[in-house]
Amino acid sequence: MRILIPILFLLPISIFSQNKLSITVDGVKTSNGHISVAVYDRSESFLKFDHVFKSDSTRAKKGTTKIDIDDLPPGEYALAIFHDENGNNQLDTNILGVPKEPFAFSKGKMRTFGPPKFKDCVLSVQSDQEVRISF
């Protein structure tokens, strides 16, 4: 019984622990604008701007830019990153909808006819983690 009591106090900590995802973005061509990261937690919402689980942005730094996403509960996530070079807070596209600004995904790469699927980009986050992504 004495062993059970400390375990019961630690259980809520492990269930509700939050993690930090440290993202290093390589291949940033200029220091103009911001690097923006969108975190998705479901395949149904992947790449839909109005269904982002978490997001953040930071000033772009030529070469390498680092950004942290804090307070992520354990789970599976996919990342979409873009360099908002002109600072208008959106991913600019051409008339066909093809992005004109640099972008990348966690693990997944662009397919011949469109972006990767959620399952191609998914990361399992169970503790603090570092991820490196290149444009």
Would you state the pLDDT for residue 115?
Answer: 87
Domain 18-134: state its class. mainly beta
Domain boundaries, the chain: 18-134
Would you state the pLDDT for residue 4?
Answer: 44
Would you state the pLDDT for residue 16?
Answer: 58
Would you state the pLDDT for residue 8?
Answer: 47
What's this model's pTM, rounded to 2 decimal places?
0.82
Question: Which residues are CB-neighbours of 73 under 8 A, at least 6 positions away?
Answer: 16, 17, 18, 19
How wide is the angle at C-alpha 107 spanned by C-alphas 105 and 109, nearest 5°? 60
Q: pLDDT of the chain along its 135 residues, tens only?
A: 455 445 545 555 445 569 999 999 999 999 999 999 999 999 999 998 889 999 999 999 999 999 999 999 999 999 999 999 999 988 899 998 888 999 999 987 777 777 899 999 999 999 999 999 999
Helices (H) and strands (E) counted in the chain, each on its own, are 2, 8
The Cα 91–Cα 103 span in angstroms is 9
Residue 6 in contact with residue 42, Cβ under 8 Å? no
